[in-house]
Amino acid sequence: MAEWCTNQLEITGKSVCIDVMQQWVCGEEVPRYRQAVLQSLRLFLAGCAGILKPTKPQTYTPYPALVRGTAAPTAQHLAFEQWLLLLQNNVPLNTDNIKRIDNLYRQSGLSLMSWDKVPEAARDIMAHLLTRQYTDWFGVVGWSDTPDIGACWDRLDVYPQAAQPCDMLMIMSTNLSTEINGNSGLLKGIPTTAQFYEAQYGLEWPFGHHVRWERRNVSSLTVRFDSPWAPPSAELMGELSAMFDCEIRHWYSEASGQLKGYDCYDQGEHVDSGYGQSGRENRPALYLVTGEQAETALALPAIAVGQ
């Protein structure tokens, strides 16, 4: 079980920016990066199964079985070849690359390929990978030694319409090959998601737990959330302040009292630090934005979250 670190953010800024930030806090925005990941998983499976191939000889060292020869320069194979280049470069899943992957995925024709149209030999290869990677790609819910492979293929074409509350992957981009790799070490030499998340966000699970918020006025927002073992990284907090053009005062502490601190960020710049005030005095009532229990919070309905 994780030792929880309590985080409190006192945020001030332009009302229009605070409005958008509140949507991020509540998980109300669509996590476009997840769509790019799911589309890329289908492209990865299609390459491993030999359905799609590059038009020129290539190799992918982290997982050589991804490339099975070459094919004629049709629109579908050219799309795969261009996606393979993105994977080889381990591109960040930023807005431009998300759009690029979406275009290549549609050009590949995989969005129209139902499971019953997948060749039998290709199904066996896909089944092996989907079973091996199930918990990395779909989570532990519903896992079994013999998952419904057709249903798994279909799930890769269903995109989440809501994010996790305080989804930090929407603030600082994750990387394409890292998301395909997961934590199982499928891709040789590529960081696992846990390794990358720790380095990028300071957290193995980079979203808010037990999130509560309160809006005192149009230009301020108070947010409390828990994070496992440590607070989010200074780089993440600075980027959050820059993205929403605001000042963020961040207090954090964990139960033992060994970890406690304060930092302030203004429009992306780290402007103050120290132990600061604990923020516990006159703490306002905070509104729960997940279905998880909190000490003194008014519970809202649980929000549907992306995978």
User: What is the C-alpha separation between 17 and 244, in angstroms, rounded?
Assistant: 5
Contact 203, 235 (CB under 8 A): no
Dihedral pair phi/psi, residue 175, rounded to 5°: -110, 150
Compute how many other C-beta atoms are within 10 angstroms of the C-beta atom of residue 112: 9
> pLDDT tens track of the chain, all 307 residues?
568 999 999 999 999 999 999 999 999 999 999 999 999 999 999 999 999 999 999 999 999 999 999 999 999 999 999 999 999 999 999 999 999 999 999 999 999 999 999 999 999 999 999 999 999 999 877 667 778 999 999 999 999 999 999 999 999 999 999 999 999 999 999 999 999 999 999 999 999 999 999 998 999 999 999 999 999 999 999 999 999 999 999 999 988 878 899 999 999 999 998 864 433 333 344 444 544 433 333 332 222 223 3
pTM, two decimals, is 0.87
Domain annotation for the chain: domains and CATH numbers? 4-30+207-299 (3.30.70.1270), 32-159 (1.10.3530.10)
